[in-house]
Structure formats: structure tokens, C-alpha cells
Amino acid sequence: MTAIPRRVTQRDIARLAGVSQATVSLVLNNRADADVRIAPETRDRVLRVIAETGYAADPVARRLAARFNRIIGVFTYEPAFPSGSRDFFHPFLLGIEEYAERAGCDLLLFTSAPVVDGRRRIFHQDNRLRLADGCILLGREIDGAELHRLNRDGYPYVAVGRRDDAGGPVPYVGADYATAVGHLVERALAHGHRRLTYLSMGTRAESSEDRRRGYLAASAPAESARDRPAAADDADAVLDDLLADGTTVALVEDFATAVAVERAARRRGLTVPGDLSLLTLGDPTSPVPADLVFTGFHIPREEMGRQAVEVLTHVIDGSASGIQQRLLPCELVEGATLGAPEPAVGRP
């Protein structure tokens, strides 16, 4: 049998380079002690031996010269793989994996976090954050107290989605929901709509607040611009409210609610967009079959994942200039659910 080659150690590197093991450790950690100065030629010799032997430190050992084990953690506040959510999270994970591969990094998915009060928590007695050089955070709502602790501890992380309320700035890569919703409102106004209703999910997540902000800013010229929560399982009551108000276009935050309202309208002999226009404000968070292509926008989920890893690698290696915060444009979808308002909408 062929013998399994022994792992190269720091002691081996020191022997081959003709230096002490302490010198190898200083070179690997890219620093020098106050009383020790490493000559450039000595540092070069150590690095050359490291490259020639293919030496790699253990994951639990001190960081390499760039303090980078090339392990990136991924933490999801909602389970990423159940059938109800995997279609939404999948593009984020594809983008994360693609850029991690490009950067030569391995991914470590943190799955042991317990659920406390209905939500997963990063910090618990057995958390293993330090196994990774930094972490990507995924979730519709991320706990502000945990972001504050990450900031306080100086742990490198990047949130997917705009975040605030963390006791300091949060590095993130998000979608520019406010601009995308504003463009949809402008299109509705250009079609002649003057009575608008925003059907929200009733949450205070930053993504919801950004959508609402874009809606309110762009709908100033409208005769009426309401905002009310709505859910798919209450579609008939929602439709009753829209018709009673004389709403001609509804902007719907939750895709499943838009599908349910359209079906409720069809059951009553109404048409979309003939009697009521419906605009969707993002992609489905769970699989929902639809008979129409809804006018709205797509979230750049893969690109958000890619750029989140890019930003994180810069945070880890120290090359980031200040707190990195990026908002990416959403892709408008023409769809078939926006039309000119009909005067019959809202009549008894």
C-alpha cells in the first residue's frame, strides 16, 4: 500500500527555511513582535517554502497572512431548505456559492442554532461562528440585538438585505425596493390610475419599509393612496374593501396574496386588469402557481448573494474602505396585470 503522506507542519517549514518556528508563525500571521524584525528576504524565503510544500494551517489554527482561512459561514434566520422556502432562498445560495468558488473559499452552513421564541438565534452556548472567517446573514428579519453584538465583537459579517437599528452601521447588499416600487407607481399613474391601495404584509422589516417608502413618495399625485395589511387567506374580504373604496390598482407586497385576489376577482366575473390592476412587489417567498404573468419586478437574488460574498472577503482581508452598503436595482417585469382603469370599478 502507498503510505499516506504526513501533513506538513510549521516545524517542517522552519527547518526547510532555516528559521525558527516562531518566525514562521509571525510570517503566517503577517505581523512582527515589538522586539522582532523580520528581514524581507527571510519573509520571502518562508513564503517560498510555504508555497512549494503546499502548507495549509488547520482551520482552528492561527489565521494565515491575510487572516483568512477561506471558510465563509452562511446563517439563515429562516430554514433555507424546506419545500415552502427553498425556491426563494435558492437563488441567494447559488450566488453565494458561485462567488465563493471564484474566491477559492469553502462554505460552512450553520444549522445548529436553536429556535428561541419562534426564531433562530446566532448566539448560543455552542455557536461556532469562529470556525469561519466571516458570515453571510440571510433572513427577512434579522435581530437588531444580534447585529449590535456582531458589531461590538468586531466579527466580520455581511447581511443580505438592507439592515439598520444595530447600534451602528451594518454592511449589507440589498435590493433597491423603494426605486422599483416608485417606478411601478409612476407607470400606474401614467395609465390613468388615481385611486391606489398598497397591500402590505403588516411587518416592520426593512424590506417592507423600503417598499412602503417608495410607494408613498411616488403616489403623491394620486387622488387616494391607501395602505392596509392583507393576507392570501382573506382575499375575498380584501377584494370587497378594494371595490368599496373604488381602488383601480393595488400594489401587493406578498405574491401569494396577489394570486388569491386575482382568483377571487375571477370568481365574481371580474377581470384583471380590466376591472382591477394588480402589481406585485417581488418574487414569491414560497411556490405559488399563477395563471397570469403579474406586472411587477424581480429581486436580483443571485447577484445579491454574489456581491455579499465579494463584500465579505474585502471586510475579512481589510481591503474594504469603510462600511460597505450596496443597493442593487430590481428588474421590472412587464406582465399582463396593469391596464387603464375602468369606470365600473367600485360600483355597487
Domains defined for the chain, CATH in brackets:
177-299 (3.40.50.2300)
Strand partners, 120: 115
d(CA 46, CA 22): 12
Give the pLDDT confidence score for residue 68 in this predicted structure: 66
Give the pLDDT confidence score for residue 58 in this predicted structure: 44
CA gap 208, 44 in Å, rounded: 53
pLDDT score of 54: 74
State the amino acid at position 145 in one-letter form. A
At 203, phi and psi to the nearest 5?
-110, 165
Check: pTM over 0.75? Answer yes or no: yes
Q: How far is CA 80 from CA 133, 326, 332, in A?
A: 21, 23, 26
Cell triple for residue 256?
A: 401569494
Q: Which three cell numbers stand for residue 70?
A: 477561506
Integer Cα distance of 302 and 296 in angstroms:
18
| Residues lower than pLDDT 70 in the chain | 1-7, 29-36, 56-68, 79-86, 116-118, 125-126, 343-348
Q: Which helix (H) or strand (E) holds 35?
A: none
pLDDT (0 to 100) of residue 286: 77
